[in-house]
Amino acid sequence: MTEISIQNDRLVDLFTTLCSINSPPRQERAVVEYVKGFLRGLGLELREDNAAEIVGGDANNLIATLPANITGAPKIFFSAHFDTVEPNPNLKIIVQDGVIKTDGTSILGADDKAGMSAILEAVRIVVENNLPHGQIQLLLTVCEEIGLQGARALDLSLVDSDFGFVYDTGPPVGTVITQTPTHDTMRVRLIGKPAHAGVEPEKGINAIQMAAHAISQMKLGRIDAETTANIGSIHGGQATNVVCPEVVIMAEARSLNPDKVNAQVAHMTQLFEQAAQQFGGQAMIEIDRHYEGYTLTENDLPVQAVRRALHRLGMDAPMRPTGGGSDANVFIARGLPCCVVGTAHQKIHTHEEFVLIDDLAKSVDLTLAIIREVAEMR
């Protein structure tokens, strides 16, 4: 494969254009249309599924296919997500001294538009230079930030890939996530009984007091090296003169060990139920397996391809676990082998988010090197 020099100005323009299109979850249509136009201009075959109907949004997942120009190579996919963690309609981008950031009043949206721009630019270079490649699909999803909903809704009948790469974690560029937790969420309704707080409080059952009693005994935060748990929100109550009749609590538990997730959720459930019984109320608990964890090794094909590509580029090939999840959790659980690859975004989900231009270019170089490695697997 001919060595290609990345056009940084063109890459920065692509990245900042993507970031400038406001695309919070369920409102990704504008950026989807932009990317469709970009890929249509490169001659890719475009398909959409019916994710919008499933997730209640205005856009579907986009599945784009670049047919192979060589025979015998594995079929691969690259994936990134369209949505950002919060809206940024008044985004002001600053490009200075090799850094791309905002003015501090909003997120940049580099999660995951840094990953997406690296994938799109690499595909553009492959097409423009007629570089040898097997079939490449792009699985570009919606609603990742609100529970990996787009990946869950992805129509697998549109996917024709042997394995792939999800560009959705931070630097160093090329980091491979080899282990992720299993993640459960909990919705807890504690139901008490209203009464006038000044006239006859003894006739009421205070749901806030039930919640406080349970949570005060609960193991939370860092449970051990593999396990975490959190109470994320509590909502309830009407007025100071009413004994609170109901609260709704949102909580979660995660662990690299699925048995420990089950044990932590059982522990939390037991304390909520015991508190309800002790105070004479009720506990109604819904538990959802948000996503399944996975463990990869250096022998898995996606990991091999990334590490060989990094070595080809003279870069380190770090592997690490993470406490978070991504579309890869859903893809792997649904039978699509893949690994998460580190990209250029830093301080994500904050107004201090930034990207180094050199890291963006490295992400493109890595993508091209992966395509080359896979092409040589014939």
**Domain co-membership, 17 together with 143:** yes
Q: Which residues of 185-202 are buried (b: 16+ CB within 10 A; e: fewer)?
A: bbebbbbbbbbeeeeeee
> What tens digit of pLDDT does each residue of 243-255 get?
999 999 999 999 9
pLDDT at 5: 77
Point out the residues that are catalytic.
83, 144
- Give the number of domains in the chain: 2
pLDDT at 152: 96
Instruction: Report residues of the chain scoring pLDDT below 50.
Output: 1-2
**Domain co-membership, 125 together with 192:** no
DSSP 228-282: EEEEEEEEE---TTB---EEEEEEEEEESSHHHHHHHHHHHHHHHHHHHHHHT-E
**Domain co-membership, 158 together with 34:** yes
> What tens digit of pLDDT does each residue of 348-358 get?
999 999 999 99
**Domain co-membership, 314 together with 272:** no
**Domain co-membership, 94 together with 231:** no
E strand or H helix at 85: none
**Domain co-membership, 172 together with 228:** no
E strand or H helix at 34: helix 29-41
Q: Which domain holds residue 243?
A: 182-291
Rg (CA), the chain: 24
Indicate the residue among 234, 259, 291 that finishes a domain: 291
In-domain check, residue 2 = no
> What tens digit of pLDDT does each residue of 321-373 get?
999 999 999 999 999 999 999 999 999 999 999 999 999 999 999 999 999 99
**Domain co-membership, 284 together with 314:** no
**Domain co-membership, 30 together with 79:** yes
Torsion of CA 326, 331, 337, 343, to 10 degrees: -30
Least Cα distance to 41 among 138, 120, 136 occurs for 120
pLDDT at 3: 64
> What tens digit of pLDDT does each residue of 27-49 get?
999 999 999 999 999 999 999 99
Torsion of CA 256, 260, 264, 267, to 10 degrees: 180
Q: Which residues contact 216 (CB under 8 A, 6 or more apart)?
A: none
**Domain co-membership, 239 together with 168:** no
- Across the chain, mean pLDDT equals 96
